[in-house]
Amino acid sequence: MYAQRILSSGSFGSAAALRPSSLQRSVRAVRSVRAAHTVRVVLRENNDSKIGKGLAGEIVSVKAGYMRNHLYQKKIAVYATPHNIKTYARDLEQSDEDIAALKLAEEEEKKASEGLKALTGAEINEHAILSGYLKGKVLKIKRQATDSESDKILKTGSVNELVIRKKLSSQMKLDLEEMEGLEIGEDVDLGVLGEFECNIVLSSGLKTPLNVSVVRR
């Protein structure tokens, strides 16, 4: 992109023209923070890599970015949720480590649902950076209405959590992890054009507002 800008101007341009934009810096900051913290995962198969090395069924800790971009995409591992631990972890009756990991995962899930989780500095920092990045931004989703005068969306183009996740990835370069989700109010009608606010729920339990606008295609 920088090379194209220089060529089109017919000169080497100014130093400012070569600097990353504020948006690019924001995206990098969000990605850096989100990739830095560690997550516990259950290996679905033997992993000989130096990062997260272990046998199938073992629970290991890896950087969130490595899990999201490598282990999860290649189906080498799943996040260590209570369900996944029970499904993929090795024989829990013979592993004190896995029993402890399952208990910890269940306790964290319960605390997060009750809003009682003790937050770390990294989690607070991640939330602050993500909130700053999303402030003033609107996620736009184009949908076809039933007719030119109606705001009702065709059933085949309905908006749901999966659609919002994909748009977050393509428009804002923000990929949610499996343990993160979206909180959409019961009063929000996803079957019509319009604007609404939902929350991104981080694995820490902290919530970040996200503005969504569903417009006519």
Residues 138 and 113 in one domain: no
The lowest-confidence range among 70-84, 133-147, 180-194 is 70-84
Strands of the 194-201 sheet, one edge to the other: 138-143, 207-216, 194-201, 181-183
**Cβ atoms within 10 Å, residue 77:** 28
pLDDT of residue 6: 26
Q: Of 89, 117, 145, which residue is a domain's last?
A: 117
How confident is the model over 74-115, as pLDDT tens digits? Answer: 889 988 877 788 788 775 444 566 666 666 666 666 665 555
In the structure encoding, which two tokens stand for residue 129, read together?
């950076």
Read off the CATH number of the domain in which 151 is found.
3.10.430.100
Cα gap 26→46, rounded to integer Å: 36
Q: Which residue has the tokens 């919002």?
A: 164
22-41 mean pLDDT: 66
Q: Of 117, 146, 167, which residue is a domain's last?
A: 117
Burial 46-67, CB ≥16 within 10 A → b, else e? ebeeeebebeebbbbebbbbbb
Contacts of 122 (CB under 8 A, 6+ apart): 33, 36, 37
Please give the model's pTM, rounded to 2 decimal places: 0.55
Residues 147 and 208 in one domain: yes
Is 31 within a domain? no
CB 131 within 8 A of CB 137: no
Residues 99 and 148 in one domain: no
Is 8 within a domain? no
Is 17 within a domain? no
Is 10 within a domain? no
In the structure encoding, which two tokens stand for residue 106, read together?
């269940």
Residues 198 and 145 in one domain: yes
Is 50 within a domain? yes
161-175 mean pLDDT: 90
- At residue 118 the predicted structure's pLDDT band, cuts being 50, 70 and 90, is low
Residues 128 and 79 in one domain: no
Which 3 state secondary structure label does DSSP give 51?
Answer: coil
- At residue 35 the predicted structure's pLDDT band, cuts being 50, 70 and 90, is low
pLDDT of residue 14: 36
Residues 59 and 107 in one domain: yes
Given the DSSP bridges, would you call strands 138-143 and 207-216 parallel, antiparallel or unpaired? parallel
Percent with pLDDT over 90 in the chain: 16
Is 70 within a domain? yes
Q: Of 117, 135, 155, which residue is a domain's last?
A: 117
Residues 100 and 150 in one domain: no
In the structure encoding, which two tokens stand for residue 204, read together?
């820490």
What range does the domain containing 77 cover? Answer: 38-117
In the predicted structure, residue 12 carries a pLDDT above the cut 50: no
The lowest-confidence range among 45-59, 69-83, 104-118 is 104-118
Give the CA dihedral 153, 155, 160, 164, nearest 10 degrees: -60
Q: How many domains does the chain have?
A: 2
Residues 97 and 137 in one domain: no
pLDDT of residue 7: 32
Residues 147 and 66 in one domain: no
Is 181 within a domain? yes
Read off the CATH number of the domain in which 50 is found.
3.40.5.10
CA triplet 124, 76, 74: central angle to 5 degrees?
Answer: 90
If you average pLDDT over every residue of the chain, what do you get?
Answer: 76
Which 3 state secondary structure label does DSSP give 54?
Answer: strand
